[in-house]
Amino acid sequence: MSVRLTLKHTKFANEKMGDKSTHAINGISTTSQDELARMGMSKAYHLLAIFLKHDKDVGSFTVWLQSMTSIEDRHAEAPGICLKAWCFHNL
């Protein structure tokens, strides 16, 4: 699946994460943000922790995210790709 790199992706990947919400991550819609918040994952760093537990593997993280939220298939890879880019720029 091809993911379009958006301004949202570029901005997130190139800035410090701080206390940004999960919605700041490319591909995370308001609906997915709400679903994640109900599970106690309201901050981008919560998803980063899960991404790191998946050894920065976009495919594995995508499967997990789809199992936990109703994220649309066309957006499912974008959060993992965005988090991988953030790791590249910031770790």
Task: Please report the pLDDT score of residue 37 as a whole number.
Answer: 97
Q: What is the pTM of this model?
A: 0.90
The partner residues of 43 in beta bridges, in order of sequence, read 21
The model's pLDDT over 15-69, given as tens digits with 9 standing for 90+, comes to 899 999 999 999 999 999 999 999 999 999 999 999 999 999 999 999 999 999 9
Give residue 3's pLDDT: 59
